[in-house]
């Protein structure tokens, strides 16, 4: 079976693409709901009717189940689960790392997954705990890599073998793991052992780990974030370059009476209204659902429907070039997500390089947006403008040929020639009332222009309110400008 990943659209570090597994194709970013054959509240076929193109289940459960083992070996996974789309099987590494089991080997799980007709096979990787020490993480990583290689050598067809990136909390190990995995030329590369981080809201650590792993993987790898199923984090994970997610959250939260939304979860008992338009919420009131015998099933349905909707929303945002706006909204729903978002904006500039140069709009939503990719790109463009010896920078948009090169000013970008007024990002940016951060960032743009044109003399006609701030930024070049 072949595996190929094609990127169609990009925004920030996020991609909309197509993952082809044999003759099946799924759109990415994709959500793979986790299926437990013993406790399946929503039939996979019903999920397919909601737009689910791939699911994930646990080979370990099948191999241990009296009810399912033989049946699945004979009929195959797709028949038993009644799902025609892509089925990924996990090796159960995670369960083994928690419960321990000496009887399962890498070779056993690989050949079992192959025999039951899995579309994406996962080796018995070792999910190193984020608390583990360096030497443990390093050793686990070696074992994981050797098991991936063993998979390549023993599977008759290893193109759809997933190659997990481990390395615990150590960023150099994550990067090394990713580089090693990348060299094996397998299409699907999951980032593993991040569940404990997400469970304890350590999104800041998650950002560093994903960044380190991504830095070692080529753009053509389809990256799965193992165990990430909460819709509030999809925008961030996609912005960092993750393409596949698996959700057990929809079912686990339902079991616990919790109601998922893309901006956090609620206890059903705390809700007075269902504002969600899904089929469950539009036909029940919270107190009714709370008393229903089908509570868990109905709640799981709602949880999965909102999770699917969020994946679609993220895909649409990438297509429209408005992922920054969605990201901003989502990451304000939890303080740890906000910290992670700020860390992501602050440090990761390299991933911007591949995004679209022109987008539908730029909607400034607060000071974090001063560091958006579009601002960074615009500032690097300012280094290359060719201008006259005489330059007028005017905030009032009035200037003529006698003034030399004329630039208007739009924060957070900075100076722009009037010809660019209709082009992205100047033209398509929606900027509310100017605030200090955006003007300061615009002033940094101005500084770049002055700095790169030492032979030009600048006259800056700026609004009195901002004069001091502009001057603070550009004062090292005092000899080259006057502010009027
Ligand atoms: N599920 C969640 N995390 C992991 C992981 O690191 N490896 C595997 N195989 N499954 C997982
Ligand atoms: Zn709903």
pTM: 0.94
Low-confidence ranges of the chain (pLDDT < 50): none
Q: What's residue 355's pLDDT?
A: 82
Residue having the nearest C-alpha atom to atom 9 of ligand 1: 93
Euclidean distance between CA atoms 298 and 306, whole angstroms = 12
Q: List residues bridging with 390 in a β-sheet.
A: 457
Atom of ligand 1 nearest to the CA of 166: 6
pLDDT at 42: 97
Total count of residues recorded for the chain: 484
- CA distances (Å), 44 to each of 33, 41, 252, 253, in order? 9, 9, 16, 18
Strand partners, 55: 87
Q: How far apart are CA 222 and CA 220, in angstroms?
A: 6
Token couple for 253: 């939260």
**Helix (H, G, I), strand (E, B), or coil: what is residue 27?**
strand
Cα(260) to ligand 2 centroid in Å equals 9
- Which residues are CB-neighbours of 61 under 8 A, at least 6 positions away? 36, 37, 38, 68, 92
Three-class SS state of 473: helix
Per-residue confidence (pLDDT) for residue 155, from 0 to 100: 97
Strand pairing report for 414-416 and 405-410? antiparallel
pLDDT of residue 346: 83
172 classed as catalytic = no
Catalytic residue among 90, 125, 140, 328: 90
In this structure, are residues 261 and 306 in contact, taking their beta carbons and an 8 Å threshold? yes
Ligand 1: distance of its center to the CA of 14 in Å?
22
Q: What is the pLDDT of residue 352?
A: 75
SS (H, E, C) 78-145: HHHHCCCCEEEEECCHHHHHHHCCCCCCHHHHHHHHHHCCCCEECCCCCCCCCCCCHHHHHHHHHHHH
pLDDT of residue 102: 58
Note the ligand closest to the C-alpha atom of 213. Answer: 1
CA of 227 to the centre of ligand 1 (A): 7
The closest ligand to the CA of 305 turns out to be 2
254 CA from centroid of ligand 2 (Å): 12
Q: Which ligand has the nearest atom to the CA of 278?
A: 2
Report residues whose beta carbon is within 6 angstroms of any ligand 1 atom.
90-91, 93-94, 122, 125, 127, 164, 192-193, 195, 226-227
């Amino acid at each position: 079976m072949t595996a190929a990943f094609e990127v169609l659209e990009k925004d920030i570090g996020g991609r909309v693409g197509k993952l082809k597994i044999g003759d099946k194709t799924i759109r990415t970013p994709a959500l793979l709901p986790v299926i437990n054959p013993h406790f399946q509240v929503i039939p996979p076929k019903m999920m397919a009717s909601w737009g689910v193109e791939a699911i994930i289940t646990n080979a370990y459960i099948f191999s241990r189940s009296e009810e399912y083992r033989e049946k699945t070996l004979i009929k195959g996974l797709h028949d038993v689960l009644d799902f025609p789309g892509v089925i990924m099987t996990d090796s159960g590494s995670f369960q083994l790392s928690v419960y321990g089991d000496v009887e399962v080997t890498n070779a056993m799980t690989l050949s079992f997954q192959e025999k039951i007709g899995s579309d994406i096979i996962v080796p018995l990787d070792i999910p190193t705990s984020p608390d583990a020490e360096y030497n443990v993480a390093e050793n686990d990583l070696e074992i994981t890599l050797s098991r991936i290689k063993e998979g390549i050598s023993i599977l008759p067809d290893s193109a759809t073998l997933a190659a997990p990136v481990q390395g615990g909390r150590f960023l150099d190990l994550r990067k090394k793991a990713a580089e090693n995995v990348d060299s094996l030329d397998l299409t699907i590369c999951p980032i593993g052992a991040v569940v404990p981080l997400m469970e304890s809201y350590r999104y800041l650590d998650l950002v560093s780990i994903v960044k380190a792993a991504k830095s070692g993987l080529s753009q053509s790898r389809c990256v799965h974030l193992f165990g990430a199923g909460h819709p509030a984090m999809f925008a961030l994970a996609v912005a960092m370059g993750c393409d596949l997610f698996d959700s057990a959250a929809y079912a686990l939260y339902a079991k616990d009476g919790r109601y998922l939304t893309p901006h956090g979860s609620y206890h059903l008992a705390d809700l007075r209204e269902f504002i969600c338009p899904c089929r469950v919420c539009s036909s029940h009131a919270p107190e009714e659902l709370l008393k229903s015998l089908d509570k868990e099933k109905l709640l799981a349905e709602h949880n999965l429907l909102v999770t699917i909707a969020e994946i679609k929303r993220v895909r649409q945002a990438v297509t429209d070039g408005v992922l920054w706006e969605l990201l901003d909204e989502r990451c304000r729903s939890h303080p740890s997500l906000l910290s992670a978002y700020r860390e992501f904006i602050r440090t990761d500039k390299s991933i911007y390089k591949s995004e679209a140069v022109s987008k539908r709009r730029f909607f400034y939503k607060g000071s974090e947006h001063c560091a958006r990719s579009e601002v960074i790109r615009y500032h690097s463009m300012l280094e290359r403008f060719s201008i006259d010896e005489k330059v007028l920078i005017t905030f009032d948009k009035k200037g003529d040929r006698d003034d030399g090169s004329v630039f208007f000013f739009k924060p957070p970008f900075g100076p722009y020639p009037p010809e660019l007024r209709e082009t992205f990002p100047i033209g398509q940016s929606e900027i509310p009332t100017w605030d200090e951060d955006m003007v300061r960032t615009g002033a940094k743009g101005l500084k770049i222009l002055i700095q790169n044109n030492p032979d030009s003399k600048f006259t800056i006609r700026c609004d009195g309110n901002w004069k001091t701030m502009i001057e603070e930024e550009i004062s090292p070049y005092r000899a080259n400008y006057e502010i009027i």
